[in-house]
Structure 1
Amino acid sequence: MGSISKSKLVVTQSKQTDQLYRRLGLSAIGSAIVAMVMVFIIGPKANHFTISLVWLAVISLVSLYRWISARIYNRLKDREKARHNWKFRFDIGAYMAAISWSLSVWLFYPLGHPAYQVMMILVMAGVAGGAISILSYDKKIITYYLLIILVVTDIRLIMLGDELSLQLALLNTLYYLFVLKGGRDIANGFYELLVLREDTEEHNLTLLSATESVARIGYWQWDMQSANIELSSNLVTMCGADSKFVEFNSCLKKVHDDDRLRVQMAIDSVLKSGEESSVEYRLHAREADDWIIMNQVIKRITDSSDQLFLLGTVQDISVIKSAEQKIFDMAYYDELTGLANRGHFREHLLDQIKHVSRNKTQLAVLFLDLDGFKEINDTLGHDMGDMYLQEISKLLKSKVRDEDFVARLGGDEFSIVLDSIQDGMFAAETAERCLALKQQAIKVGNQSILPRMSIGIAIYPQDGEDADTLLRSADAAMYSAKQNGKHSFAFYDAQMTADAAERLELESDLRKALENNEFKLVYQPKVSVIDERVAGVEALIRWIHPVRGFVSPDNFIDTAERIGLINEIGEWVIETASLQQQQWKAQGLQLEMAVNVSSSHFSSDNFVQYVESIQQRYDIKDGELEIEITESMSRDTAKHINVCKELHQKGIKVAIDDFGTGYSSLSVLKQLQVNTLKVDRSFIQHLPDDESSALMVKAIVAMGLGLGFDIVAEGVETEAQTLFLRQLGSPYIQGYYFSRPVEAEQIPELAKTRFQISPPNQPV
């Protein structure tokens, strides 16, 4: 800014002070009203309502001081004598207001209520944005005002330290820096505009154009005797106009259809009342696919010849609105799927409970959990898992009405709120439509997945009269559906609450089981058909609970998977079994040890390294340790080829357990480099009488032996089954016919036993 004469500076500063006080009264009233609304909405959520009332009293006094100052100043006839004092009073009032507003986040910030936290920050942002229209006549005031609020607010958010607060602090900083930049640019523009009024109109317009471009603002004026509006150079660019003189209706057509009437009404109001008006609207620029958001202030002026003009200032506030929208989306929507998040879901459910309560209707909450999602994540990778969740989200939305509400609660859990239903039948029909998604294969990478899910249904009001109870009831019903075979739905009943409590207690006990040494291993012999002796054993985990007694693996393995303990338990099994194998070898007993591992453990990044460390610690030779994985785990060829290859290189064998129940192809088996196929007991139990089972087992044994695999038949319980398998050429047999799983101390004696496998009077 160039230097100006002292006399011109005095005139300019006088006009600045006039402009500052001109709108101060209404702003002070608005500030007090906004503060009151914020206190009564947010204050109760902060558990400091009394403090918020004290704060409201303080800011009301500050607003009253500023309002009285504005009233007195605007009625003064001779302002020049005390101009400096009045400017000082204005500054003091502005800084007191800034300090008062910024202290709100310290005095009654709603901890534990993310939506209200975002609301408070948005209110503060609105206050800061609104201050531009009042304070932007003075660069120093607008700078200090915004910096006070920014610094005090960000210090509070950063000290809280949680993820949401830090994200809000970042967005808050970006927003205030943008507003500060715009405010200072506008202040510079207005200051120069006042100076330039002392110069020629041509010189004024030249400098104003530069200011417009920097601050993303434009100006227009309309001589009411003409049909054309005169646009500033920057506004010509923003509107995509061909010239600075544009017909009014042509400008209006660029406004979004939904906003056009509001803009016209604002102009009509200014013409009729003479009062200044402000309006926000969306404007379509030249060759732009997106709408830019404009904030426009319109004022009526009359020149010295009493000719009527309209003057408008326009600012592109798209960036500000975008920042506000990002804050809102972060608080209410799931970033991955675009569905409502848990917080938004809860607010919606609370609102709908009030609605149906008034209308004497019902609503249903459906709690959905994807079956097998952890396996998908572990075998295909997290990126593919995310893609699967995105596709599931789209499909779920397609199965409900427009008025129904779908949310992702987290992980693989979703929920649907069905509003205003008459009975549970509609909820059941919706659940059936969701379950029918199993017929639509979802393509994820090179894999096609048939969606499976378990659904729990809770009905308001009989299954819960508040949001939290309803969600717990639906969750309990979902768990019941999962326990009863998965891919089904269940309505809530009271017994499920007791089951849920039992489940939570089991989870708590399971977390302590490793620490308290409550697990033990038993061993089931694997018998060689040729030698008729024990060739190896399979280590099987057992949980001896101090109160419950024996707990079957079927009752705790899934729980261990769900709460993230399965890897620790798996490592304990591998190490304990390896230690036992070492002790047997010291006794001269050479037995192959087979251990089962979970999908997540086998897929973990450090699994091979862990097995190698055990191999070295217990001096495990090649072929002495075999890792068993289920056939369904082996579907991710790319993921598991490397793991199997590394284990193979280290002399660790790999077996596919429950073979025949999954989807392995011959090409997959060849690439995985496995050593053993274990025929699932579901085929063995019907031998030899069931023809289909017999054909299946014959095919598996013939194929496996032909490809060079070892074959182990599991679940053998009768002599007839044993003889049938021997005739097929199965080299190994395992089951109750020879021995149940036994304590480690019994294995040496069993190892001495010669089992009768061949028919009497026939050679082995």
Structure 2
Amino acid sequence: MSGRDTPMDEAHAWLVEVVAGTPVPTFVIDSRHRVTHWNRACELVTGTAAADVVGTDRAWVPFYPAARPVMADLIIDGTMEREVEHYYSGKYRRSAVVEGSWEAEDFFPHFPGGGKWLAFTATALHDGTGKVVGAVETLRDITHEKRAEQALKESEHRLAAIVDGCPVPLFVIDENHKVTHWNRACEAIIGVPAAQMLGTSDQWRAFYAHPRPVMADLVADGNDEKSIAQLYSGKYHPSTLIPGAWEALDHFPHFRAGERWLAFTAAPLKGLDGHNAGAVETLQDVTAQKLSEARLSHQATHDELTGLANRALLTDRLTHALTHARRDGSLLALVFIDLDHFKVVNDTLGHRIGDELVRVVARRIAASVREGDTVARIGGDEFVVLLCAPESEDVVAEVVTRLIAEVSRTVTVEGHELCVGCSVGISLYPRDGADSATLLMHADAAMYRAKDSGRSTFHFFTPEMNERATERLGLERDLRHALERDELRLLFQPQVDLASGQVVGAEALLRWDHPREGLVMPSRFIPVAEESGLIVPIGRWVLEHACRLGHSWTNAAGRDLRISVNLSPRQFRAKGLAREVETILQSHGGGRLCLELELTESTVMHDADEAAAILRKLKDMGVRLSMDDFGTGYSSLAYLRDFPFDMIKIDRSFVDSLHRGRGGEAIVRAVVGLARSLDLGVIAEGVETEAQKEFLTREGCDEMQGFLFSRPIPAEAFVTLLRNPPPG
């Protein structure tokens, strides 16, 4: 330093050296806004040489296309507070480092390379008295940062667009559990708009009624399985696809968009350093699947017609009830219910009415027991009630008595007044069995005893009932082998024309020559055959043998003979009946054989249109048709008029009531009159006395059969009868 230099000169020289040597782009202006310093770094960043601006008041030239103050100018003028917003709208702030300094940033599009972003800091320069004598402004090229920031924003925008447009419902939370994304699919499924969720930590409100972490919260915090298990007991598992992710299933009944079942997967989001930076949770609406599963489960365990428990669910509940009964030492009752006369209603009026009757009965049974008891439908007209822990056998009897009364009340279905009672069997745990199968079997046996006792009553199981159940099972087993072992026999009851006294035909009657029990009557084995389905092959055998014998008798007698064969309801409805009859007739129908098929009212009234079609086919083959047991079922005179019957058979019960003061004469007279009006023949069965014969003859009955003329006899005896007819 020379002797003439002052401290001010020294300070100025030092400032010049500092400004010139700093790598930070820097320029200085004095109190008159003239540029006094413009360092090399400033030249490089602005592309403007110091010589072009030093000594001028044009510090703005490198930055702006027209004159305007730079930040240093505003500081010198003392107008920074007032003017900064105008020139640096939203892009300025007071310096947090140097008191009195201001910071701002701006984009300068005219700089080479597509423009530059510069950050600048302006600080006032003061003299010794504190007077502002200038300002220094530093620049920083933040173009790379800004472009990176812009790229990040664009990336985030694209990500947000992808997330928002993603069809999978999802939301994202940060490490502070604040919601950062809540896409449109999430809005739709949950019914909560994103505006209510973004930036909040209240994501639980979208799912639950009370505060609790959602799965994403647990995953974001890195919680272990124990914590997750406490909230999602039994409904969670680790993801097999995403490390650290968890999956769960839950039911949400209160969503604004409606009740939902959701499956959700929450995966952690990691920062660059590997720390937890939040979590993403995706949702899948599995409501339809769960409802379908529920329907399938319900169908698998419930009766479709009535909605009651089915056999599978009954067995399951009975098993559990037995477990509790053993543990508690309590009573348990199994009530087996079988509707009386339901088959007549179903066969006569059709399945639609029968089904509605079953529904009504089901509701009545359910209303007769306690809410916790199980009511199941296990067959067409069979129900079972499981009574858990009744106080006593007397209480069970009271419940069943009330139940029978309810079921027996008249039901009106489509204008038909129907009255079906029920027969009920009861087995008790532990007295009557220790397992489900035994209790059910014993209740069933008791029910059959109730039916045998006159129906519309109940019986508790007793050990001797086992014998009957065992007998029935054995009967069905033996009946299955009866055909192949040639144990079935046909007897024939002659049918006599009253006008001529001549035998005009015979009714084929089935008997079973059991190898151990001897002759078994139809009343014992025909119901078993009907229930088991064996009636169809047995009926075919009867038809085949009757036609074969009838053919030979007709040829031998040299005149027309009629063979009458009974058709069961199940046989009549079996597919291909008409074709089967035609085949048999072609094989055995030569000569003057006349086949007559006897059908009960209930058989043909099951499905009127189908029955009429079958009957017409049979008539076209020359088969005669007789309505058997007329007047004993749900008669429909319209069907009798429209169906192609040839004859009405008066049931033996009406014949038996003649001359006994029970209105039998009036009924028979009405039946004969009806037949005459419809141009139908009349045959009476069960004629055993001369008085019955005389009355029937007087009233105009055409034919008869019964013990008065002949008991059912073997084929050989019938041939003899044809050759040597009895007198009169």
TM-score (norm 1): 0.65
Matches within 5 A, 1:146-225: 200-210=155-165, 212-213=166-167, 216-221=168-173
The answer to whether the aligner puts 1:339 opposite 2:294 as a matched pair is no
Identify if the C-alpha distance between structure 1 residues 298 and 339 changes in structure 2 by more than 3 Å, giving closer, same or farther: farther
Q: Which residue of 2 aligns with 1:582?
A: 551
**Which residue, 398, 408, 421 being the options, matches 2:377?**
408
Identify if the C-alpha distance between structure 1 residues 526 and 323 changes in structure 2 by more than 3 Å, giving closer, same or farther: closer
Identify if the C-alpha distance between structure 1 residues 543 and 266 changes in structure 2 by more than 3 Å, giving closer, same or farther: same
The residue type equivalent to 1:365 in the other structure is L
The answer to whether the aligner puts 1:519 opposite 2:509 as a matched pair is no
Identify if the C-alpha distance between structure 1 residues 613 and 267 changes in structure 2 by more than 3 Å, giving closer, same or farther: closer
Q: Distance in 1 between matches of 2:638 and 2:698?
A: 28
Q: Which residue of 2 aligns with 1:177?
A: none
What SS does the aligned partner of 1:200 have? Answer: helix
Give structure 2 stretches of 5+ with no counterpart.
1-150, 233-248
1:241 is displaced (CA, Å) by 3.3
Identify if the C-alpha distance between structure 1 residues 663 and 383 changes in structure 2 by more than 3 Å, giving closer, same or farther: closer
Q: Which residue of 2 aligns with 1:599?
A: 569
Q: Distance in 1 between matches of 2:214 and 2:186?
A: 21
Matches within 5 A, 1:193-592: 200-210=155-165, 212-213=166-167, 216-221=168-173, 231-246=182-197, 255=207, 260-261=209-210, 263=212, 277=228, 279=232, 280-283=249-252, 288=257, 290-295=259-264, 297=266, 312-318=281-287, 321-322=290-291, 325=294, 328-329=297-298, 332-334=301-303, 337-371=306-340, 392-410=361-379, 412-435=381-404, 436-441=406-411, 443=413, 450-589=419-558, 590-592=560-562
What SS does the aligned partner of 1:750 have? Answer: helix
Q: Distance in 2 between matches of 1:370 and 1:225?
A: 64
* Deviates further, 314-323 or 404-413: 314-323
Q: Distance in 2 between matches of 1:613 and 1:399?
A: 53
Q: Percent identity?
A: 32
Q: Distance in 2 between matches of 1:627 and 1:261?
A: 76
1:597 is displaced (CA, Å) by 1.2
What SS does the aligned partner of 1:664 have? Answer: coil
Give structure 1 stretches of 5+ with no counterpart.
1-195, 758-764
Identify if the C-alpha distance between structure 1 residues 727 and 289 changes in structure 2 by more than 3 Å, giving closer, same or farther: farther
**Which residue, 680, 690, 695 being the options, matches 1:709?**
680
**Which residue, 703, 707, 725 being the options, matches 2:696?**
725
Identify if the C-alpha distance between structure 1 residues 471 and 282 changes in structure 2 by more than 3 Å, giving closer, same or farther: same
Q: Is this contact kept in 2: 1:295–1:317, CA < 8 A?
A: no
What SS does the aligned partner of 2:484 have? Answer: coil
1:447 is displaced (CA, Å) by 6.9
What SS does the aligned partner of 1:260 have? Answer: coil
State the Cα RMSD in Å: 3.8
Q: Distance in 2 between matches of 1:446 and 1:469?
A: 42
Identify if the C-alpha distance between structure 1 residues 341 and 235 changes in structure 2 by more than 3 Å, giving closer, same or farther: same
Q: Distance in 2 between matches of 1:450 and 1:621?
A: 49
Partner deviation per Cα, 1:673-720 (whole Å, 9 max, x = no partner): 111111111111121242511111111111112221111111111111
1:753 is displaced (CA, Å) by 5.8
1:437 is displaced (CA, Å) by 2.1
Q: Distance in 2 between matches of 1:285 and 1:206?
A: 29
1:449 is displaced (CA, Å) by 5.4
The residue type equivalent to 1:630 in the other structure is T
Q: Is this contact kept in 1: 2:672–2:700, CA < 8 A?
A: yes
What SS does the aligned partner of 1:587 have? Answer: helix
Q: Distance in 2 between matches of 1:572 and 1:337?
A: 38
Identify if the C-alpha distance between structure 1 residues 311 and 649 changes in structure 2 by more than 3 Å, giving closer, same or farther: closer
TM-score (norm 2): 0.68
Q: Is this contact kept in 2: 1:283–1:294, CA < 8 A?
A: no
Q: Distance in 1 between matches of 2:269 and 2:540?
A: 80
Q: Is this contact kept in 2: 1:294–1:318, CA < 8 A?
A: no
1:428 is displaced (CA, Å) by 3.0
* Deviates further, 632-641 or 375-384: 375-384
Q: Is this contact kept in 2: 1:270–1:300, CA < 8 A?
A: no
Q: Is this contact kept in 1: 2:171–2:180, CA < 8 A?
A: no
Q: Is this contact kept in 2: 1:301–1:311, CA < 8 A?
A: no
1:518 is displaced (CA, Å) by 0.8
Partner deviation per Cα, 1:531-582 (whole Å, 9 max, x = no partner): 0121211111111111101111101000111111101111111111111111
1:502 is displaced (CA, Å) by 1.3
Q: Distance in 2 between matches of 1:605 and 1:538?
A: 24
* Count of residue pairs the alignment pairs up: 553
The residue type equivalent to 2:697 in the other structure is R
Q: Distance in 2 between matches of 1:476 and 1:455?
A: 10
Rg larger in 1 or in 2? 2
Name the structure where helix makes up a greater proportion of residues: 1
Name the structure where strand makes up a greater proportion of residues: 2
1:629 is displaced (CA, Å) by 1.0
1:756 is displaced (CA, Å) by 6.5
The answer to whether the aligner puts 1:744 opposite 2:693 as a matched pair is no
Partner deviation per Cα, 1:315-361 (whole Å, 9 max, x = no partner): 43435545654664465444555433333322211211122233332
Q: Distance in 2 between matches of 1:217 and 1:531?
A: 92
Q: Which residue of 1 aligns with 2:646?
A: 675
Q: Is this contact kept in 2: 1:254–1:285, CA < 8 A?
A: no
1:368 is displaced (CA, Å) by 2.8
1:748 is displaced (CA, Å) by 3.6
1:200 is displaced (CA, Å) by 2.9
Q: Distance in 2 between matches of 1:670 and 1:692?
A: 25
Q: Distance in 2 between matches of 1:449 and 1:350?
A: 36
Q: Distance in 1 between matches of 2:645 and 2:593?
A: 12
The answer to whether the aligner puts 1:629 opposite 2:599 as a matched pair is yes
Q: Distance in 1 between matches of 2:201 and 2:596?
A: 82
Q: Is this contact kept in 2: 1:380–1:639, CA < 8 A?
A: no
* Deviates further, 518-527 or 310-319: 310-319
What SS does the aligned partner of 1:463 have? Answer: coil
Q: Is this contact kept in 2: 1:254–1:283, CA < 8 A?
A: no
The residue type equivalent to 2:537 in the other structure is E
